[in-house]
Amino acid sequence: MSQLAFSTLAQLSAEGGDTLVAQNIFFSIIAIIMVFSAIRVVTTKNVVHAALHLVLVLAGVAAIYILLTAEFIAVTQVLVYIGAIVVLLLFGIMLTEARLGEDQNLNNNYRLPAVITAVALLAVMSFALWDQFDDQKLPEPLFDGADDPALVEYALENEPGLFDELDPQDDNYDDQVAEIIEARASLFNGVQDTEEVSDTIFSTYIIPFEAISVLLLAALIGAIVLARKE
Amino acid sequence: MSTASMTAAALVDPVLGFELAYWQQTTIKVVLALVIVPTATAIVVQTFLFKMMAGMQSRMGPMEAGPYGALQLMADGLKFIQKELLAPSAADRRVYALAPVVSLIATFMVFVVIPVGPNGFAANLRTGIFYALAVSSLSVVGVLMAGWSSANKYALIGGIRAGGQLIAYELPLVLAVIGVVIQAGSLNLQDIVVAQHSGEIFGWGGIGSPYIITQFVGFLLFMISIQAELTQPPFDMPVAESEVVGGWQVEYSGLQFLFFYIAEFGAAFGFSAIASTLFLGGWAIPFVDLDAGIMHIVGPLVLFGKTMAVAFLIFWVRFSYPRFREDQLQQFAWKFLIPLALANIVVTGILKVVF
């Protein structure tokens, strides 16, 4: 098994286990690191330290995406949030005010609004998750492992040309079919693919996508207008 | 031939004839990575920084340690290891100590996805090239950490310069790759190699379709951007010794400096390998079947040869041109490279649909 993200669900389906032991252990480790770092982001007395702890939190999010086999989202998280946003944040802090050691005046008088915002956000997100998923579990794998005979039929139904390159007269025909099926088992079991992400963004979610694009463009123009005020 | 069958081949190891357990494979990969990255760095530094640079400047280069100075890096390495790790008294100790490690990890992570043969990869991620670009951008965090925590104004200025430069050139780098991704129809590096081997240039498939021909603009953009990402001259404002005495590295010594050094030149090798995978056909060679048993051995050597050719270009430019001024550098990225990269994407997209 050469791909961590690729193989998690496939392994699950092969072993048929219900308890996701490895996933749970790693989720706990990542979650503890994230919670600790998130607390440090707001309690630390140094702005740069806060930004660096934010890197840990965002990296933890990416790691959780990988545990959920959402490889594309995880990589996007790293590229956009750590590689661009936090770097810009650090860049901005260093360009303006980045003292070493402890800073005294980091807190301001907006504690109450902050608490209200945080609680409201938590409530909205919890409600959304609860409403959408209720007590659903992760989707069950459709097949028992790579040698489930139903897989061949399923593969032929969804991708009729899959075995066209092979020669049925070949002695190794069955082995070659098995190889192709085995490689695709995790795919057939619902592991998310990059193409699937792009297909959904540009079909089902095209309007929200365009709306966000316009919003970002507006923010960009707004920033330029503010910065160039003469 | 798709990734799918490639992975299937990887599951049943045809060379050894038996399958290794997951933890055994992982151990082997980790050990290999720990060996390959420093070795690659040593080869790049010895060949280009010592000997080629000396040749271009009519000098001999290191000659004392070993035949023609071949053991110079052993001597340098031992010197680095022996030196005391110094930190300024006002420095932020923890961030200061972590910064070189962050840079080094970012470099190591790039090597994970580079395919070197039919089954030769540490991880055949479906998001291959996207992953490589994402983790390579992490090294900026290490640079900014080093610049800030050194408690030195030159280090801070160097760090800020590096931050601005790396953000600016990250964009053309990513955009240059999109042309290749459109042509190959995949983010996976192994798929890109296969697509180049079996591709056709407007119907002519004599030598496959190395994307340096159809994506020449993309190749130029990619090379210019990695030159800047690696802060090699003429994009070495962040470490310009005459202005900021070495930039963010100024306070580092001994092993920590060696970490930065390996991160820099290891990344040069890693990016060269990615460039040769994206544009020169990777480990494949024309007329030789991808599945041929010989490719397990020839593949890594072919990739190494192509990588050294690309690295030669990087260092050739490095030794030939004087450095940019800061405003020229930013204007070049934002006003020239990024619009050109966007135009390249549009043209590639149109041609892909038409043909």
A1, A48, A52 member nearest B22 (Cβ): A1
In A, minimum Cα distance to B141 occurs at A87
Selected residue of B2, B3, B5, B7 to mutate for chain A interface (largest A Cβ count, 10 A): B7
Most confidently modeled range among A44-48, A121-125, A161-165, B2-6: A121-125
- Say what the pLDDT of residue A142 is: 59
Q: Chain A residues within 8 A (CB-CB) of chain B?
A: 1-6, 48-49, 52, 55, 71-72, 75-76, 78-79, 82-84, 86-88, 90-91, 94-95, 98, 100-101, 179-180, 182-184, 187, 193-194
- Under an 8 A CB cutoff, do A76 and B22 touch? no
ipTM for the predicted complex:
0.82
d(CA B194, CA B184): 9
Q: Verify whether the Cβ–Cβ distance B126 to A183 is below 8 Å.
A: no
pLDDT for residue A3? 39
**Would an 8 Å CB–CB cutoff place B147 in contact with chain A?**
yes
How distant is the Cα of A153 from the closest Cα of chain B, in angstroms?
17
CB < 8 Å & 24+ apart, contacts of B23-26: B25/A1, B25/A2
| Cβ separation B148–A86 shorter than 8 A | no
B26 interfacial to chain A (CB closer than 8 Å): no
Q: 10 Å Cβ neighbour count for A40?
A: 16
Domains of chain A with CATH codes: 17-102 (1.20.120.1200)
Measured between CA atoms, the residue of chain A closest to residue B20 is: A1
B9–A179 CB contact, under 8 Å: yes
Give the C-alpha separation, A180 to A162, whole Å: 8
pTM of the model: 0.82
Using 50, 70 and 90 to split pLDDT, how confident is the model at A15?
very low
Task: Tell the residue number behind the tokens 């790790």, with chain if given.
Answer: B85
Could A180 and B5 be called an inter-chain contact, meaning their C-beta atoms sit closer than 8 Å? yes
DSSP secondary structure of B99-143: HHHHHHHHHHHHHTT---SSS--S---TTHHHHHHHHHTTHHHHH
pLDDT in tens, chain B (355 residues): 344 434 444 444 445 556 677 788 888 888 888 888 888 888 888 888 888 888 888 888 888 888 888 888 888 888 888 888 888 888 888 889 999 999 999 999 898 889 888 877 777 788 889 999 999 888 889 999 998 888 888 888 888 888 888 888 989 999 999 999 998 888 888 888 888 888 777 777 777 788 888 889 999 999 999 999 888 888 888 887 778 787 888 888 888 888 988 888 999 999 999 999 999 988 888 887 777 778 888 888 999 999 999 999 999 998 888 888 888 888 999 999 999 999 999 999 998 888 7
B25 touches chain A (CB under 8 A): yes
**Which of A98, A96, A74, A78 is CA-nearest to residue A86?**
A78
Contact at CB, B130 and A94, closer than 8 angstroms: no
Which residues in chain A have their CB less than 8 angstroms from residue B4's CB? 180, 183-184, 187
* Cα radius of gyration rounded to whole Å, chain A: 24
Confirm if B126 and A194 have CB atoms less than 8 A apart.
yes
Model confidence at A19: pLDDT above 90: no
Residue of A100, A159, A164 best to disrupt the B interface, most CBs of B under 10 A = A100
CA distance B275 to A51: 32
A98 and B167 within 8 Å at the Cβ level: the answer is no
Task: Write the residue in B10, B133, B187 that is nearest to A2 by C-beta.
Answer: B10
User: Coil, strand, or helix at residue A125?
Assistant: helix
Give B-chain residues touching A76 at CB under 8 angstroms.
130, 134
- Predicted local confidence at residue A10, as pLDDT: 45
A94: nearest CB among B95, B137, B156:
B156
Asked if A55 lies within 8 A of B12 by C-beta distance, the reply is no
For B30, the token pair is: 């980790």
Query: Can you tell me the mean pLDDT for A107-132?
Result: 90
Which chain B residues contact residue A179 at CB under 8 A?
5, 8-9, 11-12
Position B58 scores a pLDDT of: 87
**One-letter amino acid of A64:** I
**Optimal mutation site among B112, B148, B291, interface A, most CBs of chain A within 10 A:** B148
| Between B248 and A127, the higher pLDDT residue | A127
Which residue of chain A comes nearest to B167, CA vs CA? Answer: A84
Test A100 with B90 for CB contact under 8 angstroms.
yes
Q: Write down the pLDDT at residue B297.
A: 84
For position B342, what pLDDT does the model report?
94
Q: Is B308 on the interface with A (CB under 8 A)?
A: no
How many interchain CB pairs under 8 A, A with B? 120
> A75 to chain B: nearest residue by CA?
B131
Amino acid B36: pLDDT: 87
B residues 229..248 contacting A (CB < 8 A): none
Residue A76 to chain B, least CA–CA distance (Å): 7
Cβ contacts (< 8 Å) between B171 and chain A: which residues? Answer: none
**Distance of CA B293 to CAs A171, B120, B276, B289, Å?**
19, 12, 22, 9
Could you give the C-alpha distances from A4 to B128, B189, B236, in angstroms and in order?
13, 17, 37
Chain A residues in contact with B8 by the CB 8 A cut-off are: 179-180, 182-183
| Residue A93 tokens, joined | 């802090």
Contact A179 B5 (CB under 8 A): yes
The mean pLDDT value of chain A amounts to 78
Name the burial class of residue B256, with classes exposed (0-12), middle (13-18) and buried (19+) by CB atoms within 10 angstroms of its CB: buried
Q: Are B187 and B126 in contact (CB under 8 A)?
A: yes
For the segment A110-133, the average pLDDT, to the nearest whole number, is 91
Q: Which residue of B has its CA nearest to A6?
A: B125
Per-residue pLDDT, B253:
85
Task: Suggest the residue from B94, B144, B171, B289 to mutate for an interface test with chain A (most A CBs closer than 10 A).
Answer: B144
Listed residue (B113, B135, B72, B88) closest to B277, CA to CA: B113
In this structure, the number of other CB atoms found within 10 A of the CB of residue A99 comes to 10
**pLDDT over 70, % of chain A:** 67
Q: Which chain A residue has its CA at the smallest distance from B143's CA? A: A87
